[in-house]
Amino acid sequence: MSNPMNISGRNPEKAQRAGRPPVTELTQEQCWDHLASARFGRIATMDGDEIEITPINLVADDGRIYFRTAPGTKLLHLLLHDRVAVQVDHAQGGEAWSVIVRGTARLLTDPEETRRVDELPLRPWLDTVKLEYVEVVPTKVTGRLFRLGH
């Protein structure tokens, strides 16, 4: 069944958004719903006294964030300092959302754990070899919904 064409010039979705405040805090459930739909984000790691932010392909599953990486500075930073933050966001139409996961990262070495991650929809954007599996265990998850153009 198709929706009838709206020729009134009114946009019901826009009117609904207009009644909301410009910024709304997301619930934990909403944050995880957004994380479940995300495949790309950024991870913040520590490099001595500096913060490094690196793009990652990720997947959220069962209250955790997973990604794969190649040996290099990102992995070294995680091994030296396991406290991280992962940010995922998205903008479309008149809305945007942003979720930040703070937690600890750990390298997965158990074959059973890596096999489980292989079953998740975690795919790199580029055809590169990423042999290392990383799990981020959240300590705090926060998110916001933004009404754009306000």
pLDDT tens for 57-79 read 999 999 999 999 988 888 999 99
19-49 confidence digits (pLDDT tens):
678 999 999 999 999 999 999 999 999 998 9
> Would you say 134 and 105 are in contact if contact means Cβ atoms under 8 Å apart?
yes
Of 114, 143, 112, 110, nearest to 41 by C-alpha is: 143
User: Mean pLDDT in the chain?
Assistant: 88
Do the Cβ atoms of 69 and 130 come closer than 8 Å? yes
